[in-house]
Every structure is written in structure tokens, then in C-alpha cells.
């Protein structure tokens, strides 16, 4: 069983918080960010390590500064 890193858990929680504040489903965010719909859920559950490029895509899709994803 894979142990989830603390930063992945915190990032996923923050992503879920921002996504829900914007009123977006995981599927809608994935569409806006041009990533697969299951990818967002995997990130939110800290099951997947996210790349810098995808962090940028998601920040743009949420219309937030990248730093907002790490607060």
C-alpha cells in the first residue's frame, strides 16, 4: 500500500476547496484544464503526483495564481 505524502494530501484538499468554491465539478475542471476527468479526483485524493505543467493548467482553469493552490 502506497503512503500518501503530506504535501499531496494538502494540495488535493486545497484543490477540492478551490474547485468547490468556483462551483465546478471534477469533470468541468478537467475539461477546462484539458486533463482527463479521473485525474482531478486522483489528485484530490492524493493518489497521483501532479506535474508542474498540470499545476499551471489547473491554476489557469480555476483562474487563480499558482501560489493560491499552495495556501
Going by pLDDT thresholds of 50, 70 and 90, the confidence category of residue 9 is: very high
CB 37, CB 62: distance < 8 Å: no
Is the pLDDT assigned to residue 3 strictly greater than 90? no
- Cβ-based neighbour number of residue 33 at 10 Å: 20
pTM for this prediction: 0.92
Residue 1 has pLDDT above 70, yes or no: no
Give the pLDDT score at 53: 97
- Cβ neighbors of 50 (< 8 A, separation 6 or more) are 8, 11, 43, 58
What architecture (CATH level 2) is domain 6-70? Orthogonal Bundle (1.10)
* Domain spans in the chain, listed from the N-terminal domain onward: 6-70
- pLDDT at res. 35: 97
Amino acid at each position: 500500500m502506497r503512503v500518501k505524502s503530506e504535501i499531496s494530501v494538502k494540495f488535493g484538499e486545497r484543490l477540492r476547496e478551490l474547485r468547490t468554491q468556483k462551483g465546478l465539478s471534477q469533470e468541468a475542471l478537467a475539461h477546462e484544464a484539458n486533463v482527463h476527468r479521473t485525474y482531478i479526483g486522483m489528485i484530490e485524493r492524493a493518489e497521483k503526483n501532479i506535474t508542474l505543467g498540470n499545476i499551471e493548467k489547473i491554476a489557469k482553469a480555476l483562474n487563480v495564481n499558482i501560489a493560491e493552490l499552495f495556501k
